[in-house]
């Protein structure tokens, strides 16, 4: 397939020669053949034009959930990857949130095979423990060899400190990454929103930020003792950023992410009792959001994830206490980040992550495989269900004004363009 991007503004600070320049880009059989001011289209070439066409290296999301196998009504792998492609992502890391949970090499092979032939690459996490019960380590080495990029009991903390110690020690032998969700279940109790003024006013049970900070403190102490690679997904507290910053100064091999909604929204939106705002970790205070944004800017927070969690309507259209945690986020990620950080910094954020999880990083030069995202950073829109490609519609950004629009992706010798 031949593709010609006409007058595309390149956003890639690593390639000084082309950064912020408008160029034509010719792609032949999945490879960038030529980058020049003007290129005449060869025969049988798909020409891509757009009034404000921008192009960058392909974006990656370090934590999404679909449904298949077991919860196909929420999202199939096929439609989940289509959603990712339409949202500008050429790679996603898949959380272990299906049924049965992926805790063996055969489960990882199934997930990898289910993503074969797609434009967006799927890289699954395997469960850290058997059945995600937090009792016995799963087949970590075998899953790594089958293609697992890390080991994670999704949204469940590793309650047993000795189990985390053993996991970090064992995984060092094959450069495995261990994930530990930052929440002490005993402190969190039956809470479901941030503990503070808003939870008190609304009469909702709270999860104090201390539940997150205690868990992170414990995990970092264990990491300092064992060594190894620890990733802490979706932090939400300003103090958590400070704890991780100290650990990084010590030289510990720790990374962390934040969910994009924890950067923009606070617990004040809960006043309408809209269950789309029920997420885990919960939306916290304005001060927490400010500290998290600072952490992203200075590199303490390594990645921003959509934390895409599709849920069918029966799990959300219930009383707040009974609703499931989670929001879809792939479709709105770029618009939110662009609003907060601006275009260049947003693209830098969206292309982080591959090296940490042992994935090949794409390159923006002639002769490199084309792994590109097309976007328009200036389009302003009110995000509605019409913009949702996911099977589930549980977005906490519905009816929010966002700035920026993904136009499509080019990867694996294929192109996806939004209509």
Catalytically active residues are 307
Q: From 233, 232, 231, 235, select the one nearest 209 (Cα to Cα).
A: 235
- Using CA atoms, how far apart are residues 343 and 107, in angstroms rounded to an integer? 38
Element (H, E) at 62: strand 59-64
Q: Which residue has the tokens 């757009």?
A: 50
Q: Please report how many Cα atoms fall inside a 13 Å half-sphere around the Cα of residue 62, on the Cβ side.
A: 31
Q: Which residues contact 351 (CB under 8 A, 6 or more apart)?
A: 56, 57, 58, 59, 60
Q: Where are the beta strands (DSSP E) in 133-191?
A: 177-179
Token duo for residue 141 = 């080495």
Residues in the chain: 419
- Using CA atoms, how far apart are residues 280 and 194, in angstroms rounded to an integer? 10
Which strands make up the sheet holding 89-94, listed edge to edge?
59-64, 89-94, 121-124
Torsion angles phi and psi, residue 32, rounded to 5: -70, 110
- Give per-residue burial for 330-340: e unless 16+ CB within 10 Å, then b: bbbbbbbbbbb
- Using CA atoms, how far apart are residues 373 and 57, in angstroms rounded to an integer? 6
- Using CA atoms, how far apart are residues 16 and 10, in angstroms rounded to an integer? 10
What SS3 state is found at 28? strand
- Using CA atoms, how far apart are residues 394 and 326, in angstroms rounded to an integer? 8
Q: Which residue has the tokens 């940490």?
A: 356
Cα of first residue to Cα of last residue in the chain, in angstroms, is 19
């Amino acid at each position: 397939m031949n593709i010609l991007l006409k007058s595309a503004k390149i956003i890639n600070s690593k390639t000084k020669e082309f950064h912020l320049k408008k160029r034509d880009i010719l792609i032949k059989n999945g490879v960038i053949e030529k980058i020049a001011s003007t290129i005449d289209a060869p025969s049988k070439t798909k020409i891509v034009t757009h009034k404000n066409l921008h192009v960058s290296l392909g974006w990656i999301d370090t934590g999404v959930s679909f449904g298949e196998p077991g919860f196909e009504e929420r999202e199939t792998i096929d439609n989940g990857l289509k959603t990712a492609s339409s949202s500008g992502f050429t790679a996603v890391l898949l959380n272990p949130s299906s049924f049965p949970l992926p805790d063996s090499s055969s489960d990882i092979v199934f997930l990898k095979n289910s993503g074969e032939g797609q434009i967006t690459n799927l890289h699954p996490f395997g469960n850290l423990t058997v059945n995600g019960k937090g009792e016995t380590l799963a087949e970590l080495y075998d899953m790594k060899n089958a293609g697992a990029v890390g080991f994670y009991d999704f949204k469940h903390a590793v309650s047993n400190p000795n189990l985390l110690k053993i996991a970090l020690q064992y995984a060092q032998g094959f450069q495995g990454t261990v994930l530990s969700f930052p929440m002490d279940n005993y402190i969190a109790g039956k809470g479901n929103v941030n503990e503070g003024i808003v939870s008190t006013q609304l009469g909702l049970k709270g999860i104090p930020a201390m539940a997150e900070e205690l868990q992170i403190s414990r995990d970092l102490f264990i990491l300092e003792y064992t060594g190894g690679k620890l990733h802490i997904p979706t932090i939400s507290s300003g103090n958590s950023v400070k704890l991780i910053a100290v650990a990084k100064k010590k030289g510990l091999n720790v990374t962390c992410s934040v969910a994009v909604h924890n950067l923009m929204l606070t617990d004040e939106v809960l006043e309408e009792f809209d269950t789309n705002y029920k997420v885990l970790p919960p939306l916290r205070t304005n001060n927490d959001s400010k500290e998290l944004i600072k952490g992203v800017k200075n590199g303490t927070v390594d990645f921003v994830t959509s934390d895409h969690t599709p849920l069918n309507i029966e799990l959300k259209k219930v009383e707040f206490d009974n609703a499931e945690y989670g929001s879809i986020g792939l479709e709105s990620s770029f618009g939110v980040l662009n609003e907060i950080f601006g275009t260049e910094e947003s693209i830098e954020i969206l292309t982080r992550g591959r090296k940490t999880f042992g994935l090949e990083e794409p390159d923006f030069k002639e002769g490199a495989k084309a792994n590109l995202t097309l976007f328009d950073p200036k389009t302003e829109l009110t995000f509605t269900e019409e913009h949702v490609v996911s099977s589930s519609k549980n977005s906490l950004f519905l009816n929010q004004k966002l700035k920026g629009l993904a136009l499509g992706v080019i990867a694996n010798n294929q192109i996806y363009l939004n209509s």
